[in-house]
């Protein structure tokens, strides 16, 4: 059993704060500053360029990929890191389209906008026959037909926490000859995922949310071993070459997922991620999920009883929800700003959603109960009705 008091002790959280926004940016793991400082002073400062070999920097994208792989049910050697999630979405989507003669990408209205932007941009660069088809989340399965090339979905909706059934949709897609690209930005480190059992062709995700790598942390990409050898990446970078230091002017892809490397890995960010992943040496993703469900239910029930004006936007069924709980209110933005001002940090998503990340590695009953009590006070007293709380900021 996971000792959640022990996992909490591995994070450095400010005093007096209930942090329920780890689904946007995970907190600082205590080991990160020393690990990054060591990379800067001993490795970069001491070994200079030699640290690429002596400190193993060159291999970090695959080594860290192998540390993330168990959290998403991936085999060793099938996950690589680097670049941003948007780039990884583009790589996966372009690779998927290269494997089929079909030309329609299917996604849903609950997908994160960047994923849709990547699809729109890719379609514009291809011939006129390619298209992006976007349907309501609950209609995805009925649109899985033999004219669909690629299914591009985020497993957990970033606004409401609604969860797609990866296994069912993956099986249906496979039987229709559809290639799957799954975005696990709100899944990896939050709930058990099994890309192997689901037959996922591609899966991508970020590391700065539930994996706590810090702002701008590198994204990951998983490519199914059954198809990796068939892909000539659309963004062929020199570190994805079979022999990058031969400086061959003609691209030859490296083996497996490594061919999806593009440029120089972000060493300092990878050092932070390496330290942050240590929590998974003592935590079970299954225990984390079970605890998340309990805490989410406590929040849903507490807000339902104390704040009837807040309408649950997340699925009521625990199995159909990721590790976040969202509520709707016409003044959601101002309410969230009032809540943050009182030391309870969640976030807002337009047009009217208050969103709370349930991250058992470092929050527990005390944070959930404080959130409910603070929300109740804000709603009862109308404390959100202040011009300062209505003034929109760039990051909310």
Active site residues: 112, 183, 208-209, 355
Structure token pair of residue 30: 């205590």
The tokens for 133 are 């088809």
Closest CA to 212 of 395, 42, 25: 25
Identify the CA nearest to 186 among candidates 326, 322, 348: 322
For tokens 């930005």, the residue is 185
The answer to whether the beta carbons of residues 326 and 354 sit under 8 Å apart is yes
Q: Return the number of other C-beta atoms located less than 10 Å from residue 196's C-beta.
A: 16
CA angle, corner 281, sides to 276 and 284, nearest 5?
105
Strands 11-12 and 202-205: unpaired
C-alpha triplet 124, 86, 154: angle, nearest 5°:
95
Q: Which of 144, 354, 129, 79 is nearest to 153 (CA)?
A: 144
| SS3 label, residue 204 | strand
Residue partners of 74: CB distance under 8 A and separation at least 6 = 68, 195, 196, 203, 222
From the number of C-beta atoms within 10 Å of its C-beta (0-12, 13-18, 19+), residue 66 rates as: middle
By the 8 A CB rule, do 105 and 123 touch?
yes
């Amino acid at each position: 059993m996971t000792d959640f008091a022990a996992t909490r002790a591995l994070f450095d959280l400010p005093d007096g704060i209930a942090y329920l926004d780890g689904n946007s940016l995970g907190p600082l793991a205590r080991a990160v500053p020393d690990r990054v400082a060591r990379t800067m002073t001993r490795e970069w400062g001491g070994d200079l360029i030699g640290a690429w070999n002596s400190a193993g920097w060159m291999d970090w994208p695959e080594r860290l990929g192998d540390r993330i792989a168990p959290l998403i049910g991936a085999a060793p050697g099938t996950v690589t890191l680097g670049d941003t999630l948007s780039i990884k979405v583009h790589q996966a989507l372009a690779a998927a389209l290269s494997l089929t003669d079909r030309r329609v990408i299917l996604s849903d209205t609950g997908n994160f906008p960047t994923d849709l932007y990547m699809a729109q941009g890719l379609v514009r660069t291809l011939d006129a026959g390619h298209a992006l088809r976007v349907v309501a989340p609950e209609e995805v399965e009925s649109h899985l037909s033999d004219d669909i090339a690629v299914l591009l979905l985020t497993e957990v909706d970033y606004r409401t926490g609604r969860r797609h059934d990866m296994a069912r949709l993956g099986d249906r897609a496979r039987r229709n000859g559809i290639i799957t690209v799954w975005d696990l930005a709100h899944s990896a480190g939050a709930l058990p995922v099994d890309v192997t059992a689901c037959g996922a062709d591609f899966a991508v995700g970020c590391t700065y949310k539930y994996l706590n790598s810090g702002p701008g942390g590198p994204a990951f990409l998983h490519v199914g071993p059954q198809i990796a050898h068939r892909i000539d990446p659309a963004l062929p970078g020199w570190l994805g070459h079979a022999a990058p230091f031969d400086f061959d002017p003609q691209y030859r892809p490296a083996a497996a997922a490594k061919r999806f490397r593009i440029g120089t890995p972000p060493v300092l960010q990878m050092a932070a991620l390496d330290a942050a992943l240590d929590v998974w040496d003592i935590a079970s993703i299954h225990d984390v999920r079970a605890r998340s469900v309990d805490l989410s239910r406590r929040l849903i029930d507490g807000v339902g009883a104390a704040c009837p004006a807040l309408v649950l936007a997340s699925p009521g069924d625990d199995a159909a929800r990721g590790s976040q709980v969202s509520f709707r209110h016409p003044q959601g933005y101002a309410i969230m700003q009032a809540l943050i001002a009182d030391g309870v940090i969640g976030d807002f998503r337009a047009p009217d959603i208050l969103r709370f990340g349930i991250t058992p590695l470092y929050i527990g009953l005390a944070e959930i109960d404080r959130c409910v009590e603070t929300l109740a006070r804000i709603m009862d007293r109308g404390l959100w009705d202040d011009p300062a709380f209505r003034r929109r900021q760039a990051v909310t």
